[in-house]
Structures are given as C-alpha cells and as structure tokens.
Amino acid sequence: MDWDHAKPWYHGSPVRLTHLRPGSTITQDPELARVFSHKPSLVVQDIDDHGRRTIKHSGRLPGYLYEIAEPVGPGDVYPHPETTMEPGQEWLTTRELRVRLVETTDVRPNELLTPEEIETLMRRLEQQRGDGSGPG
C-alpha cells in the first residue's frame, strides 16, 4: 500500500508531545487525527445524504493535533495491521519522528456518539464475533 508523498502526515493525542515513539499511529487525514486526539474507544465513519464523510466517536478529552515535522519515507511507516479504518488511513511508525503542534482540539458535540449508538455498535460487534464473521 502506498501513500501520497506530497501530503503531510498527522497525529492526534490528548498529550503534549515533541516526538512520536516508534509504533505510533499517523495518518494523512487531518480530521481523523483530530478525532483521535480525543482518545476515543470507538470511531465510525459514514457518508451523509450530501455525499460528505462524517466521523462520530466516543472520545471526550481535549487534545492536540500535530503535523509530522520531518520527511517520512517508505521505511518510516507501514499500514496498521489491525485498523478498523479504511485501508490507507492508519499507519504505524518505525522510528521516532519530530512533531509540531498545529492546534489544540476540543470535542465537537455533534461528533459524539450517543449512548444508544454506542450500544448498537457494541451489539453489532458482539454478533460479528459470535458468528465468526468479524475480527478476532
């Protein structure tokens, strides 16, 4: 799997950072990184009635959006082997990388999964595990 070498890489975290450790998750999708800055346990992407992507999540922490502050080469990342995101959205780092702060992030209430949505998602996951069709 390849990526767009012209695009920057991002990382979201609820913690102030100057560097990422090897094994950290990065993405070229700044909105996805922003969502991950809230430390969600669940993230759901969908397409709305207007053809736009929506992201809902369970994270509740304020956070930070970072851009990787140095070149990222082919040996520096590999596709996340256990991602629940679309192929090519999540990558893991193989070495320490410097980051620069882009912005602080606050949770957007319209992106939060409701308790009912979380319950429905958890039931679906349990059903997938139970019938052998899901990960695990």
Question: Beta strands 97-105 and 19-20: pairing type?
Answer: antiparallel
For every one of its 136 residues, what pLDDT tens digit does the chain have, with 9 covering 90 and above?
A: 567 878 999 999 999 999 999 999 999 999 999 999 999 999 999 888 999 999 999 999 999 999 999 999 989 999 999 888 888 899 999 999 999 999 999 999 999 999 999 999 889 888 888 766 555 4
Taking the domains of the chain in order of start, what are their residue ranges? 10-131
Its pTM stands at: 0.86
Q: Which region, left, alpha or beta, applies to residue 23 given φ > 0 means left and ψ of -120 to 50 means alpha?
A: left
* pLDDT value of position 136: 43
DSSP, res 114: P
Sign of the CA dihedral with 24 first, then 29, 33, and 36 last: negative
Determine how β-strand 10-13 pairs with β-strand 63-68.
antiparallel
